[in-house]
Amino acid sequence: MDTLLSILRSIHPEVDFELCDTLIDDSILDSLDIIAIISEINAQMDVTIPPEEIVPENFNSAEALWDLIERLEDE
């Protein structure tokens, strides 16, 4: 989780990722941010997020993203 938070903060230092759960709905993350995050996750955590998982529900909060990562690691 900490790795994830540091990745997120490196992209948007001004956002409180532990609290915010409308990252997509409020257009805080755009598509460029999303792929930056995905490639960072891939590089640092060795998890590949497939395109079908790029939906608002999975990216709206750090927690949702963390759940997704855990689920993908599990499969």
**Which residues sit at the interface with another protein, rule CB under 8 A?**
27, 30-32, 34-36, 38-40, 42-43, 48-52, 54-55, 75
From 24, 29, 21, 69, select the one nearest 49 (Cα to Cα).
69
Our CB check for another protein shows the closer of 18 and 22 to be: 22
Shortest Å, Cβ 30 to another protein: 7
Our CB check for another protein shows the closer of 13 and 16 to be: 13
Fill in the amino acid letter for 25: D
Cα–Cα distance between 15 and 21 in angstroms, integer? 11
